[in-house]
Amino acid sequence: MKKITSLLFATALTLSITACSNTWHGAKQDSRNALQATERGMEKAGNATENAWDKTKNAVKRGAEKTADATENAWDKTTSATENAWDKTKAATKHGWDKTKEAVTGK
């Protein structure tokens, strides 16, 4: 009976050690899998961040170009309007002087 008990105890101990070993290997494998999944997630996040940064840079560049175009267009219109107003002012001033001269000299 002692032999059977000892044999059963040894078998139970061997099985529990084997189970612990299998559990330990499984835990290590699970940790490796989790690490690889984390690395993939970090890579995807890095790619998404880089893609978002590229889109942001392009959008800012397009916005700056549109602003520059609009500013240049506004400048051209302002310059044209100022020149036109100046020409009208000069013409009106000349006309006024001519009328004054005519009134004074009678010619």
First to last CA, the chain: 151
Average pLDDT for 73-101: 93
d(Cα 64, Cα 86) in Å, to the nearest integer? 32
Maximum separation of any 2 CA atoms in the chain, in Å: 152
pLDDT digits (tens, 9 = 90+) for 7-42: 665 666 565 655 555 666 766 787 888 888 888 989
Amino acid residing at 61? K
pTM, entire model:
0.50
Domain ranges of the chain: 36-107
d(Cα 61, Cα 80) in Å, to the nearest integer? 28
Over its C-alpha atoms, the chain yields an Rg (Å, rounded) of 45
